[in-house]
Structure 1
Amino acid sequence: MSHDLAVAQQHAFQLARILMVPVTLFKSGSEYGVLPSTELDADDDLDVINEFDPHMFRPAH
């Protein structure tokens, strides 16, 4: 896994936790991006990498 991808995944996860909505990490060309999952359309020409849903994770305590 590249360093850029690891950073993008970490930021996407944190954004999902802050907004408390599912976000999708995608790649377009050579760049990574994140959008709320509801903003993506099936017609978008994006390489979806992962969806981060903040409701799937619970606090450690």
Structure 2
Amino acid sequence: MITDLSLAQNHAFQLARTLMVPVTLFRSGDEFGVLPSDELDDEDDLEIVHEFHPWPAH
């Protein structure tokens, strides 16, 4: 997990572009994490920060 938000955002964006799938940046306690969005469950006790998409918005 990562403790710096800007670093976590950068990793999340890069992961979305590399995997070419949406990824979710979440917070758990004092740390941030990133997972492909389809791997998150509604039961997960996570604070969603942002979802990154691999394709730019037009």
**TM-score, normalised via structure 2 length:** 0.88
Cα offset for 1:31?
Answer: 1.0
Say whether residues 1:44 and 2:44 are aligned partners.
yes
Q: Could you tell me which runs of 5 or more consecutive residues in structure 1 were left unpaired when the two chains were aligned.
A: none
- SS of the equivalent of 2:6 reads helix
Report the Cα offset of residue 25 of structure 1.
Answer: 0.2
Runs of at least 4 residues off by over 2 Å: none
Which protein is bigger by CA-based radius of gyration?
1
- 2:8 aligns to what? 8
Listed as ranges, the gaps of 5+ residues in structure 2 are none
Higher helix proportion (structure 1 or 2):
1
Identity %: 65
Could you give the per-residue CA deviations for residues 33-53 of structure 1, whole angstroms, max 9, x where no partner exists?
A: 000000001110000000001
Amino acid at match of 2:44: D
- Count of residues in Structure 1 that have an aligned counterpart in Structure 2: 55
Taking structure 1 as the reference length, the TM-score comes to 0.84
